[in-house]
Amino acid sequence: MTRAARVPFLLAALLTLAGVILGVGLVPSVAQDPIRIGASLSLTGTYAALGQNQQRGYQLCAKHVNDKGGVLGRRIEFVFYDDQSQPATGVRLYERLITQDGVDLVLGPYSSAITEAVANVNEKYKKPMVAPMASTTSIFKKGRKFIFMVQSPAEVYLEGLIDLAARNGLRTVALINEDTLFPKASIQGAIELAKKKGLQVVFVEAYPKGHTDFSAILTKIRAANPDVLGAATYFDDAVAITRQMKELNVNPKMYEVTVGGDLPKFYELLGKNAEYVYGATQWEPELPYPGTKDFVEAYRKEFPGADLSYHSAGGYAGCQVLVEGVRRARSLDGEKIRGEILKLNLNTVYGAFRVDDDGFQVAHKMVMFQWQDGKKVIVWPEDLAAGKARFPTPAWNQR
């Protein structure tokens, strides 16, 4: 190579090296369109409180990614739609995002029921979908290649309740659930766990989505007089069941809701009636995960006064996982991103992320809290517990 030819060659090499170091490629980010990520979320309807929290997690992740220069040298930008908590609407919206809006990537909606419905859409178009708020095992065991789980599975949501009940000598369990995918899986898991721990399941009943009057079910439970009540819920029904338990004087020694009890609004609405209630959660601000403290501070600054829950952190983490997959793939090609996500062993603000070949989560840990003096205190498992459970729960007229 002549000296004249060597100069541009070296210049090109230096530019390539700079691009590698910065992770931005050769073209300045200002010259490229943003990477567009599509998602439908439950911004209205039954799951609205939870879907809105998830959306704020996505939004904060995008801000932080862009503050650090984006990915592949491009900013990321979300395209959101409201699926109104309806699976069929979610399917229509993901079709629109991919075929009409032409988004580059997708992220998951809220809930197992909607994720199960839309999973075939992203599968058809080979769009990797990190699904941070879908925990029902069956979604990830149907041979799909492009969906990835972030949470612990639905079947262990009531594990802490069953374990603590058995260790405290309780014997009988009643279980109720919304008649949709995730709650049904949670109850089936609780039944299996109860059998293993030697507890007798004395009552199981499902109620339809959107149900508000639980008096008939709770009257039956009061007659069965179980030691433990586990309710596989979402936010609205978790509040209503707790309120109506007091009205009907239903007094199990332990009572847990799977979803909704963790929101600050749960205590705001119920006040002291929320005391002693147990809740399942995938994440809490005090858990020692990398970046969690900074995430919490940034969230409260970005969304002052807004609810912060595991749905917010999960949304953020799902975005972290997708962005890391893109960064390692150095491409927006679905097959390449899928391959990199399958190899990830990542610590997110939400805890550990690692999936098997089906995209099924194998690293994340579930915890159980109890409302104590207006605060959530993690009481299970022991290695993550910040306090002890207040046991047994006193009768309503003794609180």
pLDDT in tens, 165-219: 999 999 999 999 999 999 999 999 999 999 999 999 999 999 999 999 999 999 9
Q: Who wins on pLDDT, 24 or 316?
A: 316
Q: Bridge-partner residues for 149, per DSSP?
A: 131
Percent of the chain whose pLDDT exceeds 70: 92
CA distances from 95 to 32, 55, 122, 234 (A): 25, 19, 8, 27
Whether the Cβ atoms of residue 325 and residue 337 lie closer than 8 Å to each other:
yes
pLDDT in tens, 247-285: 999 999 999 999 999 999 999 999 999 999 999 999 999
Instruction: Map residue 357 onto helix, strand or coil.
Output: coil
379 pLDDT above the threshold of 80: yes
CA distance 353 to 326: 16
With vertex at residue 246, the alpha carbon angle to CA 241 and CA 251, rounded to the nearest 5 degrees, is: 95
Specify the pLDDT at position 7. Answer: 39
Mean pLDDT of the chain: 92
CA distance 99 to 102: 6
Chain mean position to CA 49: 13
CA distance 128 to 126: 6
pLDDT in tens, 28-49: 444 689 999 999 999 999 999 9
Specify the pLDDT at position 26. Answer: 39
pTM equals: 0.81
12 pLDDT above the threshold of 70: no
CA distances from 227 to 83, 364, 390, 393 (A): 39, 30, 15, 10
pLDDT in tens, 325-367: 999 999 999 999 999 999 999 999 999 999 999 999 999 989 9
Whether the Cβ atoms of residue 150 and residue 325 lie closer than 8 Å to each other:
no
pLDDT in tens, 104-142: 999 999 999 999 999 999 999 999 999 999 999 999 999
Specify the pLDDT at position 31. Answer: 63
Residue 326, token pair as written in the block: 């893109």
Residue 166, token pair as written in the block: 């058995």
For CA atoms 359, 365, 370, 374, the dihedral sign is negative
Instruction: Map residue 229 onto helix, strand or coil.
Output: strand
pLDDT in tens, 150-174: 999 999 999 999 999 999 999 999 9
